[in-house]
Amino acid sequence: MLVSGSTALSEPVRAIGRASIDHVEHRVRALCERYARRLPFHGWHHVGFVRDKAVEFAGLNGSDVSVVETAALVHDVNYLVRRNSEAAAGSGLRMAILADAGVPADVADWVDALVDEAEMANRHRHISLEAQALSDADTLFKALPVTPVVLAHKYLAENGVSLRELAEKIVGEQRDVHAEGFYFYSPAAARAYSRWATANLELWSCIKESLDDPTVERLLTAVG
């Protein structure tokens, strides 16, 4: 017979209970669906994908799955607060959602900090394991071969940026992390998805290059 102490020791540590995570999910999903027209790129389809993959990566790297799952659910609420903003712009709404869900204040601070830590523009080689799991999931969404085909134009519409601005952002933010070898932190993600990441980055480099050709620019102006 297992005594409770040995059971507790064999369980992975979870700082956030299932009921709180479900509450956060319900709230974020409702907000995404209510404002779906403002979130053609960062809507529930994105949040749900990042949540599912972040949980998978957290299970692989031994980080706190409950914290990673919660962070994934609230990582992009900044787009509900301000168009084309950084993760930090969503801190107030993020903390309010976490408080309503009964997440303890110190754990909510942890979640909010790791969302910033995992952001593509800020991340570095030595971020925490929880931030690594979130980053890998969010980065994978960007690197999916289908993203430039079916979602890039939605990003332009959502954030009010030009194709040139998006190409410069992607190449500017992703080139160095790719070259320095921490595009993905998880060895399993790197093995499975690095080819996609390389192709995606090359595609966006080529898009950026093509926009310097005045004939291409006239073509794009003509198609609107």
What's the token pair of residue 60?
Answer: 């692989």
Total residues binding Fe ion (CB under 5 A): 2
CB of 42 to Fe ion, least distance (A): 6
Burial of 179 (0-12, 13-18, 19+ CB in 10 A): exposed
- For Fe ion, the binding residue among 138, 142, 148, 155 (CB under 5 A) is 138
Which of 186, 202, 188, 97 minimizes the C-alpha distance to 143?
202
Q: Taking each helix axis as running N to C, give the angle between helix 44-61 and helix 65-74, from 0 to 180 degrees, rounded to the nearest 10.
A: 160
Question: Is 122 or 210 the residue whose CB approaches Fe ion more closely?
Answer: 122
Within 10 angstroms of residue 121's Cβ, the number of other Cβ atoms is 10
Cα distance between residue 27 and residue 101, in whole Å: 9
**Min separation Cβ 75 and Fe ion, Å:** 6
Stretch that binds Fe ion, among 14-22, 65-73, 106-114, 135-143 (CB under 5 A): 135-143
CB of 211 to Fe ion, least distance (A): 25
Compare residues 138 and 158 and give the one whose CB is closer to Fe ion: 138
Say if CB 134 and CB 141 are below 8 A apart: no
**Residue 107 CB, nearest distance to Fe ion (Å)?**
21
Question: Can you tell me the distance from the alpha carbon of 6 to that of 13, in angstroms, rounded to the nearest whole number?
Answer: 13
User: Residues 64, 69, 76, 119: which binds Fe ion (CB under 5 A)?
Assistant: 76
CB of 68 to Fe ion, least distance (A): 13
Residues 44-73 that bind Fe ion (CB under 5 A): none
- The contact set with Fe ion (CB under 5 A) reads 76, 138
